Amino acid sequence: MLTPTLYGKSVQIQALQERLEVEKAQHEADVKALENRYRKLEETALTLRTSLQAATDIVTNTSDTTDNTHYVGAKYKMYSTQVTALRNKYMGKSDWGNIIAKNIVDVRAAFLIGRGVQVVTRDGYEGKSKREMKFVRDFIQYNNLDEEVPQDWAVGSELEGKVLVRLEPDREREMIRVVYVPWGKYNYTITADEPNFYRYIKATYTGTDTRDDNVTVDVSFDLSEDEFVYRRFGGVVDDINNTPSKTAMVLRVIEDLDMELWDWRKINHLFSAPTPVVETEDVEAAKKVEREIEGKNWRLGKLLILANGKFDLVCYKGEGFTTLEKAIKADVQTIAGATGVPVHFLGHPELLSNRATAENLLENIELATSRERKIWIGLYEELFQKAIRMYNKYFRQNLDPMAVDARIPFTSSSNLKLVEKVYLPMYQAGAMSLQTLLSYISELDVEKEIERIKEDKDEIPTPGNSPGDGRGRNSGNGGQAVAGAGQVRR
């Protein structure tokens, strides 16, 4: 029998190690699949328990089952059930709350992103950022980040309370592609660099997907830190994967409001039409009136003269509907308080005392979404920086990732008043630059607007032929040039 050489032993050891790695990876995949299956079983069990609790008689606090002796107000307790319920309502697939939930999500998404994200040079950056700015603008245009994509991402964040986007190179077009990954379709798991829960180092998912042609494909992924950007908008800092959104917290109230509106509609259907009643002295007189009415084919609106009869239109005079009215108002106010969406956006302007209150409520939704807007700014800043790093890596470039920042402007009535009363006089007095002034107005690319202002000034023949001094101040033509350039050109 030949004794293996050292080289032969090393080959055997390497083969064993590779086999162990393969078996370890397979074992981890099996464990992950079992965890997903266990989680789905837990969700099913919770749904069944919830349905039993909902069947409890609230008057006697009893149920016809032996498993449940109480009822609860929190219908959706698990993150997965919250996401599923909210997504179904947004898509119009639920029994109750579809219109209200979609309205809340769309309004909040609109206030979160506004007109979209803008790229600016980082404050304090000493180098030239022209190349970096050009790349990021091309990157934004290539991925439609200047069109509908930011709104779609914002809707996703409102449904799931988090956002995951992955980056990959497009070698053919020499650009970086961004792909949004919805958790509702791919139940991915994020790993943090604990105890630093703000640094996300891995995004993983193991599973399959069925295409339209009924072909099952593997969609598993294991992304490293440089290949994805992740942000959470709900939950707590040390539980980065369970992130219920603000709207998810009022799912039951949304359903209650929709059912109350339906109940009110049913009451109106039953009791809104008055019933004609003729009161007579005896049965014979009643029969006589009935014969007279039938013989004359009488209809509402025609003249009716009765002998010894008292005519009346009787309708429902109870007060039961007032409890529904109060419940509707209470639910609208609860939803508005939890989500920041003004009550008149929910279809109840009568809850506003005056116009000033409505304007103040718009400021409230700005405050209610300010935290999420800052998170979005951080997401886009990291996205731009990682896109530049990947671009440098795959296409041999030397752009500086720290040269650019992101900005999501928000222009409300109070901001415009602040511009008019404070910032514009400061600019006129020379205490503020034009670039800073324009930065307070949304929908403007500040650098492009400054270039356009310079072009407009160059078109002025001489200062003597115009009412202004051409210096860009609001002293005649200079102020007109600023106002003209302030219009958005696309």
Q: Which residues pair with 120 in a beta bridge?
A: 405
For range 184-188, the mean pLDDT: 91
The predicted-structure confidence for 234-268, as pLDDT tens digits, reads as follows 999 999 999 999 999 999 999 999 998 898 888 77
The predicted-structure confidence for 291-329, as pLDDT tens digits, reads as follows 777 766 767 666 666 666 777 766 666 666 778 888 888
Given this model, what pLDDT does residue 295 score?
A: 66
Given this model, what pLDDT does residue 468 score?
A: 43
The predicted-structure confidence for 213-240, as pLDDT tens digits, reads as follows 778 888 889 999 999 999 999 999 999 9
The predicted-structure confidence for 86-126, as pLDDT tens digits, reads as follows 999 999 999 999 999 999 999 889 888 877 788 888 888 88
